[in-house]
Amino acid sequence: MESIGRLAGGVAHDFNNMLGVILGYTELSMNQLELKDKFYGNLQQTRVAAEHSADLTRQLLAFARRQTVTPKVIDLNEVVEWKSGVRLDLLSAISQA
């Protein structure tokens, strides 16, 4: 079990580094666009997905370090709305391909 924790910690650490780059470039790109730009919404979705991924990474790191995870209050409506939006965007992209 300890070796699984070490592996999870190593992967989570590397993944967290990549997420930092994704979030950084996404924010830079969003700052260069107008709110009404057609790509702004896509970048927002990218940012939200990366933030959700960062939360999962924190959970993996907590598991690897055997730390207790601090519960966090979430808005379930927001999560469902985000997941629905991602599915609709994916279906739209597939139908256009």
How do the domains of the chain map onto residue ranges?
2-72
- The confidence score (pLDDT) of residue 24 equals 93
Q: Which amino acid is at 3?
A: S
pLDDT tens digits for the chain (97 residues)? 667 767 777 788 888 889 999 999 999 999 999 989 989 999 999 999 999 998 888 887 777 776 555 677 877 777 777 666 666 565 566 666 5
CA distance 94 to 39: 18
- The confidence score (pLDDT) of residue 42 equals 92
**Residue 48 in contact with residue 23, Cβ under 8 Å?**
no
- The confidence score (pLDDT) of residue 67 equals 54
